[in-house]
Chains A and B, each alone.
Chain A
Amino acid sequence: MLEAIGASGMAELLSAIPEPLRLRGDLDLPPALSEPELLARFRELGARNASAEECDCFLGAGAYNHAQSTSVDALISRGEFFTSYTPYQPEISQGTLQSIYEFQTLVCQLTGLEVSQASLYQGAMAFVEGMLLASRLQKKRRRLLAADSWHPHYLGALRTYLEYLDIELDLVPSDPATGRIDEQALASRLGDDVAAVAVQSPNFFGVVERLDRAAEAAHGAGALLVAGFSEPYSLGWLKGPGELGADIAVGEFQAFAAPPSFGGPYVGVLAAKRNMVRQLPGRIAGETVDADGRRGFVLTLSTREQHIRRSKATSNVCTNSGLMMLAATIQLSLLGKQGLQRASQLCRRHAHHALERLASIEGVQRVHSGPVFNEFVLELPRPAGEVAGALAERGILAPVPMSLFEEQRERQGLFAFTELTGPPAIERLESALREVL
């Protein structure tokens, strides 16, 4: 090939790199491994971790271990899906584009809102983008209110993003007894400088909020309601945020898409009212026709995005969560109406059965009286972090220690339940807890 180009050697092609910048010798990396050696190495790394494969997993706090149809992985492993690219050339990307359109529809159906987009990196980023969206829509109002019962990491990410923007974030306290937002505290913080009120439901404590009342309060003060969720199976039981008055819904679809995966990749969702569509961040698929009049799908409203508008884009976002978005779409298609309903029933039953059993243990107390879906906080007689360590040794992953987020909640832990944690698993959890507490 060098001959064909007329180059004297590779060195000639590399001559554009100035001599002083050329690397002497090899990169400081371990030696290359063959395929069998690679598998052995990574198996060894994996074997050092306790996983939900062999352990009972009762961990939540924004990432959940649900049953996923084996068909999902088989389908997303098709090379046509996972080695394809962003559908910038729609004529050879209809598989991707149509699945985005289906995903957008599912998000609208579940959230009860009118428009959605092709997904964001994860729930925390969807929350950030939702709040920035609300700010853009209410330009004259520079304050955002958020219940302090949002996932602390979502709030953390939001604070990072707001650092240099002319927007103030105020937290609204929760009622420590119920775990729900303190409505009077909310009312006293509302004003005509508030762009939006943000409430997560079920919230970080697992408690279901009165989104309808939050919507009323927000709208009464001219603010938008941004509602969020990190456990999307709750939408098989509860009304969509849009049906309860939310203007913008943001959340995490990891539970549909993938196992907990040590934090990612996940899939963020964002839905809104139709008149907000031109301010939405990220990619959007729309329906159109081809030269022969046949229905097809394309990325649309691209003038919102960074590759066109650059510094004036609605967001800096480029990629979506492609493959995870597809996985969620396939899982939801398989679950269907009945499956999603049944899954959410199982989650609820298991959680309430566990609540009964665990609260009967001496020294263990339910912390919040508010209604829950599949997750709740228990106060334990020992620091929850120690309990989690001791249970891990017994093949049980529980709970998420609240001390990871707030030092003073040292003895509190979050317990989550799904279709996979039925009565036998709960029995194992109960007896292990009785042993270690």
Chain B
Amino acid sequence: MKNTVTTAVPGRQEPLVFELSRPGKVGFSLPEVSGPEPSSGVEEELVREEMPEGFPELSETEVVRHFTRLSRLNYAIDQGMFPLGSCTMKHNPRINERTARLPGLSKIHPFQPESSVGGALEVMLELEQALCAITGMDACSLQPAAGAHGELTGMLVIRKRLLDKGDERRTVLVPDSAHGTNPASCILCGLEPEDVRSGPDGRIDFDAFAERVSRGDVAALMLTNPNTLGIFEERIAEVCALMHEHGGYVYGDGANLNAMLGLTRPGDQGIDVIHLNLHKTFTTPHGGGGPGSGPVAVKEELAPYLPVPRVVQGDDGKLSLTEDFPKSVGRVNGFHGNFGMMVRALTYIREMGAAGLRQAAQDAILNANYLRHQLSKVLDLPYQSPTMHEVVFSDRSLEKRSGVTTMDLAKRLMDYGFHPPTVYFPLIVHGALMTEPTETESRSELDAFVEAVKSVCHEAAEDPETVTSAPWNTPLRRLDEVRANRQLKLRWQPDAGDGE
């Protein structure tokens, strides 16, 4: 079917902005340029002769319509449930957007005199204190711009602390169920990640862990709690104590903090360093993939190693940013961190208060257990351990019975108006369906989701092709990812015809 340049209606193409472009159009009015061209003294060879070929030229109306139509091709939390495990797709409060856009909190420059940004520094300090209170930690850096960035920062802190003590060990144990960013971040610190396996109950295999650590060469353990199966590591206090006994540290991946808010604290569990995902637990928006924000909180012993600059309060109560921390790992960010996300997260924390946050965690756990109870009737539940805020199912029986896989199930769920759960993660589960409803969902939304899953499982038995060729009702049918990898087309070109 040939591509046609048409307006986007369900089932039809929205052209690229370059394809809508017509010479001479402009969409933004700027003041007139007057007077002679200044002589900058720059060499002619460095100056553009003309704007790039194919650079867009559209009117404001056309740009507004194009992106409005594009937006309507997306599914988003604003429309319905998004049970993506490990992502904590909870509602993004509109008030966050209002506070973050206040001119006094958005039109401020990172290098303004400190006396002119006292309010901004207070936002940062207040957030640091709140995050420490929530996690049971002693100090915090808001610099990392994303979760993975926070992980790297946390591991740099651990590495530097160890080297400071003359300890050159490099082995870091990482559960086989861990997020890929964990081992990837280790490599960047010159550390050597090594898998530690999970037991049949889904938790870290304590004996295997203890044996490995007893060899004396393990510098740290990276752990997510609850883990990526949504299971609480019951022996975490023992695990941390054992790691500490051998002079090592425990890094907590805070992606699953939503299960712990107000109920338990990583600091009390023995965790030394934790990163937080403001875009998960703390409702800063996912924005189609970012920006995130990944603050790192640490125990007192590790505080001197946090990145600089840090917000400090003088004896006179005045706040300032300082780099005067000689043991710091250095800078990880060009500026102070994603301030716009700090405002949003603080707004959420101030809106919820202690009781609200605890209620959120409880509701998240309740909702996940409800889904577990209902969906384990139609899907395999590989681990029987108690569920916290997310639950992982497997497609093993489904596939055996009908040939329908997790991928097919996910695609067919979209026809029912739901974003599917996270698929194929964690790797230790066959056809994993990692399901995290969050506290946002009401019982009726959960019931609708359960009905949809049951329906798809029924279709898998009665009419598998409906499922294996899904989706049918989305703006586009199943997309060929193999072809995208093989025939790389990563940008629009002016002279390329687009009837591929």
Contact = CB atoms under 8 A, between A and B. Distances in A.
B264 A21 contact: yes
Contacts of B156: 160, 163
Residue from B24, B234, B285, B478 with most neighbouring chain A CB atoms (10 Å)? B285
B486 to A, nearest CB: 9
Contact of A289 (B289, B354, B356, B480): B480
Interface in A101-148: 101-102, 104-106, 108-110, 112, 114-116, 118-119, 121-125
Interface in B319-347: 329-341, 343, 347
Nearest to A80: B71
A105 B18 contact: yes
Given A157-B334, A334-B28, A397 B116 contact: yes
5 A-B pairs closest in CB distance: A46-B104, A32-B353, A164-B190, A263-B335, A124-B334
Contact of B491 (A1, A116, A385): A116
Given A45-B123, A348-B40, A63 B109 contact: yes
Interface stretch (A186-194, A338-346, A357-365, A429-437): A338-346
Contact of A49 (B101, B104, B191, B337): B104
B334 A91 contact: no
Interface stretch (B54-62, B243-251, B398-406, B451-459): B54-62
A51 B103 contact: yes
Contact of A342 (B30, B187, B279): B30
Given A108-B491, A349-B35, A323 B288 contact: yes
B97 interface: yes
A208 B44 CA distance: 12
B183 A311 contact: yes
A1 B183 contact: no
The size bracket of the interface on B is 35 or more
Contacts of B151: 316
Contact of A122 (B54, B147, B335, B491): B335
B206 interface: no
B414 A92 contact: yes
Contact of A153 (B183, B334, B338, B414): B334
A1 B3 contact: no
A301 interface: yes
19 contacts: A1-B443, A16-B388, A18-B234, A29-B353, A53-B103, A61-B111, A84-B287, A101-B491, A105-B492, A106-B56, A165-B190, A260-B110, A287-B489, A288-B483, A306-B148, A307-B425, A310-B193, A319-B292, A371-B43
Interface in A377-395: 385, 388-389, 392
B107 A52 contact: yes
Interface in B269-322: 269, 279, 285-293, 307
Contacts of A83: 76-78, 92, 285-286
B291 A121 contact: yes
A122 to B, nearest CB: 5
B175 interface: no
A85 B478 contact: no
A179 to B, nearest CB: 12
A313 interface: yes
Given A252-B334, A261-B339, 11 more contacts: A62-B334, A63-B109, A80-B79, A94-B14, A153-B334, A156-B331, A164-B190, A236-B48, A287-B490, A346-B30, A400-B111
A348 B38 CA distance: 7
A42 B180 contact: no
B451 to A, nearest CB: 14
Interface in A262-296: 262-267, 277, 283-296
Interface stretch (A4-12, A168-176, A218-226): A4-12
A183 to B, nearest CB: 14
Residue from A44, A263, A286, A296 with most neighbouring chain B CB atoms (10 Å)? A263
A35 B97 CA distance: 13
Nearest to B160: A163
Contact of A89 (B97, B110, B414): B414
Contact of B477 (A38, A291, A324): A291
B180 A13 contact: no
Residue from B67, B149, B187, B268 with most neighbouring chain A CB atoms (10 Å)? B67
Nearest to A208: B42
Residue from B68, B106, B148, B190 with most neighbouring chain A CB atoms (10 Å)? B106
A367 interface: no
A157 B329 CA distance: 10
Nearest to A151: B334
Interface string A208-238: 1011100000000000000000000000111
A348 B39 CA distance: 10
Interface in A310-350: 310-311, 313, 315-326, 329-343, 345-346, 348-349
A107 to B, nearest CB: 8
A52 B500 CA distance: 48
Given A264-B339, A343-B30, A32 B352 contact: yes
Interface in B62-121: 63-64, 66-68, 70-79, 82, 84, 87, 89, 92, 95, 97-99, 101-113, 115-120
B242 interface: no
A409 interface: no
A277 B27 contact: no
B454 to A, nearest CB: 15
Contact of B369 (A7, A27, A123): A7
Residue from A83, A90, A331 with most neighbouring chain B CB atoms (10 Å)? A83
A401 to B, nearest CB: 8
B25 interface: yes
A71 B67 CA distance: 10
A428 interface: no
Contact of A164 (B46, B189, B231): B189
A298 B17 CA distance: 17
A264 B484 contact: no
B190 A261 contact: no
B46 A238 contact: yes
A338 B52 CA distance: 11
Interface in B421-435: 422, 425
Contacts of A43: 102, 104
Contacts of A373: 40
A33 interface: yes
Interface in B414-466: 414, 419-420, 422, 425, 443
Contact of B291 (A91, A114, A264): A264
Contacts of A115: 490-491
B31 interface: yes
Contacts of A308: 180
A325 B291 CA distance: 9
Interface in B236-258: 236-237
A419 interface: yes
B164 interface: no
A155 to B, nearest CB: 9
Given A22-B264, A80-B78, A336 B145 contact: no
B287 A291 contact: no
Given A75-B67, A371-B42, A82 B287 contact: yes
A287 B500 contact: yes
A49 B388 contact: no
A177 interface: no
Contacts of A292: 1, 477
A316 B358 contact: no
B357 interface: yes
B40 A262 contact: no
B265 interface: yes
Residue from A50, A109, A318 with most neighbouring chain B CB atoms (10 Å)? A318
Given A62-B335, A263-B335, A91 B188 contact: no
Contact of B116 (A50, A119, A164, A301): A50
B351 A32 contact: yes
A86 B111 contact: no
A26 interface: yes
Contacts of B489: 286-288
